[in-house]
Amino acid sequence: MSRDRFKQILVALRFDDPLSRHAFVKKDKLTHIRNVLNLWVPLLFANYVPGENVTVDEQLLPFKGRCHFKQYMPNKPRSKYGLKIFMVCDINGYCLNFQIYVGRTTDGPPEKNQGQRVVMDMVEPFGCNSGRNVYMDNFFTSLQLAEKLWERNMTLIGTIRKNKAEVPLQFLPHKDRAVYSSLFGYHEQYTIVSYVPRARRAVILLSTLHHDSEIDETLVNNDGKQLNKPEIILDYNKGKAGVDLLDQIISYNSVKRKCRRWPMAVFFGIVDVSLHNSFVIWDNINPGWNIASPHRRRTFLRKVGYALITPQLLNRRNVKTLHIDIKCQIDVVLNFLEIPLPTKSAEPSPAVLTKLTSRVRCKPCYDSERRTSCTSTCCAGCQVPVCGKHTIRLCQLCAKGNLDSDSETLE
């Protein structure tokens, strides 16, 4: 499509009925895009079976326009303003559940135990006996949440804030604690560990997966000193980055465009997540596909984009009244996908026309009629310049089949 047509679609694109929106917006702040979310979110878990380790975390969708639930998160590296989204992802970044944070209700009290409520909503599709390990940061981790997950046959590994009531005083940072030392605590199915990475600092983790005090003595720092990190911390570092990995990969190749309407920003985020999920599924089905290329995901996105526009090119735009330049571009796209062009029984199979950098004489005109007509297109089959009089999709020489091997070709 043309650029102006694309811009017109972006301006007019809506995901709900604007006339009836005001009747639902007070009950649901996401009513502008609720229909899309209801169709899309259930498909995330239905099309992929995750591994044993999943991560629950938050993602900031960049947006600086007008929105009542826009958040300011100064710790985010790329953008500070945007929409907060809670996700649960597999260790390879596949998004399994998706929830937009819309803030507190205007007439209700402030929400308590928000982290616990978010995690339980995120793991709801897994059922009660999935046996998976859930990794999370200190915004979500609590002893009460660990108990609820244990009842669903799920384990928890996460950092815990130092101001939690369940953290003993001995596990807090103190000047007398030795650097690279660990302190373990056990209670039934829970294990808590406090590790000192440097003086007057402590990292506290809660786990229902580990029940021992194993320490890795192989890791050393730049000075050659042993770090003595507990196995709980090493396992946490391996499985905590599912959502961060998705956020990083999406930032490399994104469909996001500058917009002032938050439903469009959410829609662009949905497309980005869907493309990454599709690539993960494709990579699992075809593990050896394009393995030597450093741009596997970029190539996959290009092929997906071309495949989406192919029906439009073959059925709707493939008419004889189009300009010759548009026909050439359509043929280049179809040739990239290695899709045979539609043919008619009375006509030879069409060839692809390519664009020349300069205007040259038409080969059929010069040989037969001695005309001096110039053209900027050539036949991709024989690389011979042809004008509009001798070609619609196929140059006259290729159609007759009388082009000899000694004919002049273009470099």
For 317-328, write each residue's pLDDT tens digit. Answer: 766 677 777 777
pLDDT at site 380:
67
Q: Using one digit for the tens of pLDDT, what is the confidence trace for 114-132? A: 999 999 999 999 988 888 9
Q: What is the pLDDT of residue 86?
A: 96
pLDDT, tens digit (0-9, with 9 covering 90-100), for 231-288:
999 999 998 989 999 999 999 999 998 889 999 999 999 999 999 999 999 999 999 8
Mean pLDDT of 205-215: 92
Task: Please give the average per-residue pLDDT across 333-341, as a whole number.
Answer: 61
Q: Tell me the domain boundaries of the chain.
A: 1-126+244-289, 138-239, 314-400
What pLDDT shows up at residue 276? 96
pLDDT the model gives residue 344: 41
Q: Is the pLDDT of residue 110 over 70?
A: yes
Between 26 and 179, where is the model more confident?
A: 179
**What is the mean predicted confidence (pLDDT) over 298-323?**
82
Nearest residue to 387 (alpha-carbon basis) of 366, 357, 411: 366
Distance CA 79, CA 72 (A): 9
**pLDDT at residue 61 above 90?**
yes
Give φ, ψ of 157 to 5 degrees.
Answer: -135, 120
Q: Name 216's Cβ contacts closer than 8 Å, sequence gap at least 6.
A: 227, 228, 229, 230, 231, 234
User: Sign of the C-alpha dihedral, residues 370, 373, 374, 378?
Assistant: negative
Q: What average pLDDT does range 276-302 have in this prediction?
A: 92
Whether pLDDT at 63 is above 90: yes
Residue 357's pLDDT band (boundaries 50, 70, 90)?
low
Residue 96 has pLDDT above 60, yes or no: yes
pLDDT for 136 beyond 90: yes
Q: Are 358 and 376 in contact (CB under 8 A)?
A: yes
Cβ proximity of 400 and 376 under 8 Å: no
Q: What's the pLDDT at 233?
A: 94
Single pTM value for the model: 0.77
Whole-number Cα distances in Å, 116 to 71, 87, 111, 119, 140: 20, 14, 11, 5, 6
The confidence band for 350, taking pLDDT boundaries of 50, 70 and 90, is very low
The answer, yes or no, to whether residue 351 has pLDDT greater than 70, is: no
Average pLDDT over residues 136-144: 93
Helix (H) or strand (E) holding 98: strand 95-100
256 closest CA partner among 246, 265, 243: 265
pLDDT beyond 80 at 407: no
Average pLDDT rounded to a whole number, residues 215-227: 88
Higher pLDDT, 223 or 340: 223
Q: Which carries the bigger pLDDT value, residue 181 or residue 316? A: 181
- Assess whether pLDDT exceeds 90 at residue 44: yes
CB 403 within 8 A of CB 384: yes
Of residues 2 and 75, the one with the higher pLDDT is 75
- pLDDT of 147-204, one tens digit each? 999 999 999 999 999 999 889 999 999 999 999 999 999 988 899 999 999 999 999 9
User: Band of the pLDDT at 35, cuts 50, 70, 90?
Assistant: very high
Q: What is the mean pLDDT of residues 290-295?
A: 89
Q: DSSP letters of 251-310?
A: HHS------S-HHHHHHHHHHHHHHHHHHHHHHHH-TTTTTT-TTHHHHHHHHHHHHHHH
- The string of pLDDT tens digits covering residues 382-406 is 777 877 766 654 454 454 444 443 3
What pLDDT shows up at residue 349? 41
Q: What is the pLDDT of residue 348?
A: 40
Mean residue pLDDT across the chain: 84
pLDDT of residue 325: 75
> Which residue, among 391, 386, 385, has the nearest Cα to 411 in the 3D structure?
385
d(CA 53, CA 316): 46
